[in-house]
Chain A
Amino acid sequence: MGFRRVAIVGAGITKFVRRAQETPKELAYEAVKMALDSCEMTIKDIDCVALGTAPDAFDGVHMKGEYLIDGAGGFRKPYMRHYVGGGTGVFSPIHGWYHVASGMFDTCLVVAEEKMSTCHPHPAGAFLTIFDHTTEQPIYPTLIWIFAMEMHRYMHTYGITKEEIALVSVKNKKNAMDHPSAQLGEEITVQDVLNSEVMAYPVNRLDISPTSDGAAAIILAAEHVANRITDKPVWIDGIGYSLDTAYWCTRDLCYPDYVEKAARMAYDMAGIREPSKEIHVAEPYDPFSYKELHHMEGLLLCKRGEAAKLTADGVTQRTGNLPICPSGGALGVGNPIAATGLMKIIEIFLQLRGEAGKRQVPGNPTCGLAQAWGDLMQVGTVVVMRR
């Protein structure tokens, strides 16, 4: 298509916690500093900044992007914020990619920050304001209700049981024990998940990712610059994003068409024909346990309704044929919305470089994928990366 090739050359990520002592600016600063240090660059080497952060209501700051400028390294630089609800994290490298691929900038700092703990007593109150004011808000829906509906529909359509879905929580929380940023790494059993409180049937507490504070940052560079910065650039070879209708009650919730559409866009760009064979490691978005399965199907990594079986067979373990969420995902590492997506990008970056330490998947993976999802269950964002 004639764009410039873009590489990720550095990455940084703060610890994900329930209540950070740092201000949002400080969280962003910490991640940016780590990213710059990781590739021995300074803020002077950065041409522009792309900021990703989800609703203003979380941090309680109007025009949150403006507030974050100096923490995110945007002082006196071309600085633009982008936003696609919960999909923002994986859209942020796409936004940064546009900056560099278009030839307008050589290096781009991509920052994602979220501080959800400023919402008292819980961000669920802020989430009420994402619904339609006339048809939905009057019944005081919570996010968990609508995901309970989606999960129920998914289970019903394919005959999947709660035990099979609980395996995702068990796997991801265990994987997270090896992640230095993790908030909820622990060893649990399927029984623990089923015995945790029912939030809205069929969703139990341990099926849900926590609310978190945290930030992540990566540095993108055009090919001729990237090769000067590092011996091990990781290339962004495919990007895709797609937004479905806001009238979510009018679609069949059993399958995420928007994720498939986004994935096909990214696969076309990266020249991938058989995703289940060509993708070696994947980080689909898992804010709820069933979402990981749902997204594996949307990403065409397996047939519809088959993801639960792959999980039960151990295929999605780190040592399996198709490792899914080796980081621990949102369920284990934590879910500061935008930062989670970028955490997933960073995980694939480290896996492809062979620098994931205890989390490293075997077999020298060369191609990986990260995906996020959000808005009113309507957006899919996908990035395909290669070594």
Chain B
Amino acid sequence: MYKRVAIVGVGSTGFRPTTPDVSYRELTHEAAVRAYMDANIEPKDIDGFVSTSEDFLEGYSISDEYCNDQLGAILKPISTVPGDFIQSLGQAVMMVRSGVCRIVAVQCMSKVSNVLTLSHVVGFAMDPNYNRPLAMHPDFIAGMEMNRYLFETGSSLEQCAAVVVKNKRNALLNPLAGHGASVTVEDVLNSEWVSYPLRRLDVAPPADGAVVMVVAAEDVARSLNEMPIWIRGIGWCSDTPTLESRDWGSAVYTRLAAERAYKMAGIRSPRSEIDFVEISDEYSYKELQHLEELKLCGPGEAGYLTESGATEIDGELPVNASGGCLGVGHLFDANGGQKVLEVVLQLRGEKGKAQIPDARVGLAQSWRGVPTTTGAVVILSNE
């Protein structure tokens, strides 16, 4: 059994608010070609594939049928995870660890600009009997959760706004990001309401893009790449989908997923052992909430940490140096792909102006967005 699994190639299209020049199949193809070139392999060298898709967002039923041609996966083992990219990465890790495959390619993609009625599509994820008849905009769930989070932790709206300011500014340094901007805390607090206490700038705007990664067993990884990025721990977890009975104040799924990943990676003290993180920030408060659930700070501390500048690129614990979902764009199930991509590039030291010095261990975390309670965590290192 191969215990050690590494990422040996990454490729992406970059992330843009809209991509009228390419189809969703071309997005996948472009990312795949880059990933295979990065890993110095050809499709014939790959033993297995995992794709990531969710039917209603793609506009197809059985949407997985339209990515194997683009990945070069004809007549090969390929399956789809209708989940986040980090879950797909988990599937790839299991394929390698079981010894069935030595090299696996993992794909994720967002072509959300094709969706004309996004809130209606997301609304279809609500319980058809109890919640959907209320015909609420799905962002109301985030508003309610944010309100509860602020109440329980005593965090402030200004602290949430500071997350937006930081992430959109970080995105200006990221050539792949689609929503970088210079905004101030006042801009955020003066933008229109979405669902109290959530304002427009607190919500990550959608974007298109694809990410493909190549994962390999230890012996292959060392021969393919001078600096394989090791997957040291990975975990995923789901809480209840029921709005009426869920725990509104905390993100239990992230805590449980992180516990699994930390255990697998042998991490006991996350704050001192992890150098930087890329975490889910579809809404500004989510970054704070997830920082706390990942045990990177105590309950209610994340807001102060952000205001103090500790989570800046040159801070003590850089958070979302890529710009996160707020700065790069909300890529739905490809969010995890963008975050893992950023961690890999940082660990390889390829980030240029946004490079975090001495980055050795990084963490990527994702959440599947409203109304779900599914999260995944992966810990990567370059040694």
Residues of A within 8 A of B (CB): 1-4, 23, 54-57, 60-67, 69-70, 74-85, 91, 94-95, 97-99, 101-104, 118, 126-127, 129-130, 132-133, 239-247, 257-258, 261-262, 265, 269, 374-376, 378-379
Contacts and interface: CB of A to CB of B under 8 A. Distances in A.
A62 B125 contact: yes
A101 B94 CA distance: 8
B94 A98 contact: yes
A185 to B, nearest CB: 29
B342 interface: no
B65 A246 contact: yes
B65 A3 contact: no
Most B CB contacts (10 A, CB to CB) among A62, A247, A269 go to A62
Nearest to B99: A1
A11 to B, nearest CB: 22
- The 8 nearest A-B residue pairs measured at CB: A1-B99, A55-B61, A62-B124, A102-B97, A102-B94, A62-B125, A3-B98, A79-B238
Interface string B236-253: 111111100000000011
B65 A130 contact: yes
Interface stretch (B7-15, B82-90, B349-357): B82-90
Interface string B62-81: 10111011000111111111
Contacts of A56: 54-56, 61, 82
B37 interface: no
A57 B90 CA distance: 26
Interface in B75-127: 75-83, 87, 90-91, 93-95, 97-100, 121-125, 127
Given A62-B56, A66-B241, A83 B98 contact: no
B322 interface: no
Given A3-B98, A69-B238, A243-B78, 15 more contacts: A54-B62, A62-B121, A63-B56, A63-B125, A81-B83, A82-B80, A95-B79, A97-B98, A103-B97, A103-B98, A104-B93, A240-B77, A241-B79, A243-B75, A257-B75
A63 B100 contact: no
A280 B73 CA distance: 32
Contact of B55 (A55, A91, A244, A262): A55
B260 interface: yes
A262 B372 CA distance: 34
B69 A245 contact: yes
A129 B61 contact: yes
A374 B80 CA distance: 13
Most A CB contacts (10 A, CB to CB) among B1, B59, B62, B83 go to B62
A182 to B, nearest CB: 26
Interface residues of B, number: 62
Given A81-B81, A99-B94, A243-B73, A70 B236 contact: no
A265 B77 CA distance: 9
Contacts of B100: 1, 3, 98, 101, 239, 269
Contacts of B75: 242-244, 257-258, 261
A243 B61 contact: no
A259 to B, nearest CB: 11
A61 B127 CA distance: 8
A15 B236 CA distance: 32
Contacts of B122: 62
Interface of B: 1-2, 54-57, 59-62, 64-66, 68-69, 73-83, 87, 90-91, 93-95, 97-100, 121-125, 127-129, 235-242, 252-253, 256-257, 260, 368, 371-374
Contacts of B373: 66, 69
Contact of A245 (B2, B62, B68): B68
Given A60-B124, A79-B374, A83-B82, A246 B66 contact: yes
Nearest to A63: B125
Nearest to A83: B80
A269 B77 CA distance: 14
B239 A85 contact: no
Nearest to B65: A375
Nearest to B55: A56
Contacts of A240: 77
B61 A130 contact: yes
